[in-house]
Structure 1
Amino acid sequence: MTKQQMMNDLAKLIDKNNIFMDELLKNHTYTKLGGKADFFVTPTKVEEVQKIVQYAKKEKLPFTLLGNGSNVIVRDGGIRGIVLNLKQFDGIRTEGTKLIAQSGARIIDASRYALEKCLTGLEFACGIPGTVGGALYMNAGAYGGEVKDCLESAIVVDEDGNVQKVLAEDLDLSYRKSNIAEKNYIVLEACFQLEDGEFDQIKATMDDLTYKRESKQPLEYPSCGSVFKRPPGYFAGKLIQDSHLQGKGIGGAEVSTKHAGFIVNKSNATATDYIGVIEMVQKEVKSRFDVDLEREVRILGED
């Protein structure tokens, strides 16, 4: 199937103004890395998401879900087929002590909305840059809290294009992991069960966590955030620091001198540079401490 045929087909499913051919994905990732997507689509309705999923399955087309690109690296060759982005699904509302957020909303904004409504339970997310959908995908967490602590349920589209409600306990949420990828779910909406709290107390907690984040993390450079999961009994950043890797890199990518758990795009790095630094760090830490560092960040696309 030619790209023009795909464009014609997709234009029958969603507004053509929300279909982008050969879209440069470096414009949609926090690392500022990544080649082109054959098609980058941003539907506005649930029915459109269902139709796109069904179309991709019927035509056996490669299909990738991309949030706001905060915890992914897209390779320099880009991504074939359809890249689905739900940035236009960004609504947030409350029903009593429940906070319902669409998957394209930033989890930071959900946390701030909870503050406005004097609801406690999402303070930990005030510095996590990903979307709500991405936060569920990896059971995002920080400073002692994680999504599984307060998630009640999610509305998803399954691999056949059906919409269903899934309870939190059925998502197999564990450290930086869920079964969302395994089940081929596309999260549309999440429901968090929070509790009534005091505005000043919630804000003080969020201000403290924001200060810790801004003072310790290299936010002045593009990065994918924390690169590695915490190895049992260790801290990834400490192992990398003790391996004397800070400031070392490949091309324009290097291990942050501010926080060893981060790799930054310091000067027009390529995805190949960035991935090369990840592999260098893994090899050195294994050599020095016999510890395997497992990536937290996902790598997508082709070289």
Structure 2
Amino acid sequence: MLNRRQLITRSALASASLALPGFASAQAAATTTRIVVPFAAGGPIDVTARILAEAVKGTLGTVIVENRPGAGGNIGVSAVAKAAPDGLTLGIATTASHGINPWLFKQLPYDPARDFAAITQMLRVPNVLVMNAETAARLKITTLAELIAYGKANPGKLNYGSGGNGSAGHLAGELFKNQAGIFAVHIPYNGGNPAQLGLLSGQVDFNFDNLATAAANIRSGKLKALAVTTAQRSSVVPEVPTVAATLPGFEIDTWWGLIAPAGTPAETVRKLNTAFGDALKSPEVKSRFALLLAEPAPSTPEQFDDFMKRERAKYERMVKLSGAQVD
């Protein structure tokens, strides 16, 4: 027979063994890092976030990706701004959320300058000015200079497509028109894919598209690449010149990077920067990003913060130039 003290001890041990799985689960949840992607699953931002999440699991443990799409990235980014600054909720800052949207929307549910702690830039992807190949052949356009010359000689006859008013493609088109001194009608589509289909079908003459999206059609000969929008030529299409070679100072690309809520301890930010920075420099991540025609761009938190400030200043001018407004 067990005495009363033995019964109490065994009962306590049994209760503890039942509670342990739940405790372990709660403990795991408390230390799981999540990366909030402010766009739908399957796109390049989502894919690269998942590549990084896998690459840092040896350093940070479990890292999950949570998609919170909507309102041009504002919904997901706002969720990050409101999260606890404990280093366990991270987000993706993009050209849209931290460059364009502050000027495109009259009211934002977050402050891009004050509500976040920069961790590291992840990558930059060149944009490219592409023409429908058949249109380019018909108009005898093989270079950017020839496109500009045609636009000046035939005012109002060119048009270009974009993923919508205020999109990166729209702003790039307006800046191009301004610097080139030509006029082309803007045709807004409901997203980047419809805009590319409009170009492929000949509905529009040219687009400023993401290189990762346009590359397959460039290689197949359906699209004619006239220039990349980065300051230097792209290693992916080194034969394509830059817009800046014809229009000095023209520089636009697509970028995104990691952020945390404001107030995240500096020591935590440094730890995250080291973990993700090391992953971005690894051969495996570089090779996987290369399949997306993207180049890793690890940075210090200070460098990424300064970069985003410069991008906001650049896009303020571009949004005003375009006249685009969402609300």
TM-score (norm 1): 0.26
Could you state the TM-score of these two structures normalised by the residue count of structure 2? 0.25
Instruction: Give the number of the structure with larger relative contact order, counting CA–CA contacts within 8 Å between residues 6 or more apart.
Output: 2
Compare the two structures and name the one with the higher strand fraction.
Answer: 1
